[in-house]
Amino acid sequence: MRFNRRARLDSDQVRTRKGGAAAVGGGAGIIGVLVLLAFQFLGGGGGDLSGALSALENTQVGGQGATSEPIEGCETGADAERSQECRIVAVVNSIQALWGSQLQGYQPTVTNFFTGSVTTGGCGSATSAVGPFYCPADQQIYVDLGFFDDLESRFGASGGDFAEAYVLAHEYGHHVQNLIGVRAERSSGPESDAVRQELQADCFAGVWADHATTTPDPATGEILILELSEQDIQDALSAAAAVGDDRIQEAATGDVDPHTWTHGSAEQRQRWFMTGYETGDPNQCDTFATDAL
């Protein structure tokens, strides 16, 4: 992945969250924890917390001492080529530029870096164990940067900068779903709504990848990403496969149980990413209307 070194970056789209243990009132704290643990056990590795939100919608949730700070030192594409944080800023800028051009009324949102644990603006608290996630209540994305190391060391992905980009694009896919009203009920199984929602987010990630080198920044008119290689796409596919339900289950227990799937198999995740990448058309990502997942 090669960046336009002269292109300006909008670092306001990425922030760092520090501190802030969640204060959960109304006697439902354990329910929230159990929902998050279920999310971790059933898949992790990319998703949203809509299920947790449903469980906590009548619960008073607040943060104690949490602060949010802008990412500093990320001004141009040259910075993106020397720094992981700035690279993520550039990728987020590119993803949001694409959806701003594709989706009428698109509302930009923020990606939050955190370490260890985080208090969200509406989905309670979470730890790095749940992986990157989207909170529909505050319409923001949360990423512990350590997850990208885990993709290689724990999940066996090939790594690479574009593996990170795939994960981010998947989470922004959930933001797009939230804006257009796609919300799956908490469910599991190989053809469940939860799986369809995750595969659609993979497809949306592929749509962005197809347009990444041709979408100009709306503020400057500059292309942020100049080139993607075949290796970049292979790295994205490796990451998609690594967080397939079957791969995670087999690595954890030696068995695969499709009835508990919430994110889809490795093959499904790769195939839907490629559907988006090969067509570049979000209308081809309607996983809810097909019997061929």
Give the pLDDT of residue 150: 87
Q: What angle do CA 259, 263, 269 make, to 5 degrees?
A: 120
Q: How far apart are CA 275 and CA 281, in angstroms?
A: 9
Return per-residue pLDDT of the chain as tens, 293 residues: 999 999 999 999 999 986 544 322 222 121 222 223 223 322 334 555 444 333 333 333 334 445 778 889 999 999 999 999 999 999 999 999 999 999 999 999 999 999 999 999 889 999 988 899 999 999 999 999 899 888 888 888 998 999 999 999 999 999 999 999 998 878 899 999 999 999 999 999 999 999 999 999 998 999 999 999 999 999 999 999 999 999 999 999 999 999 999 999 999 999 999 999 999 999 999 999 999 99
Residues 141-184: tens digit of each pLDDT: 999 989 988 888 888 899 899 999 999 999 999 999 999 999 88
Question: In the prediction, which pLDDT does 155 show?
Answer: 85
Query: Which pLDDT value is given to residue 188?
Result: 93
Which residues, 6+ apart, have CB-to-CB distance to 37 below 8 Å? none
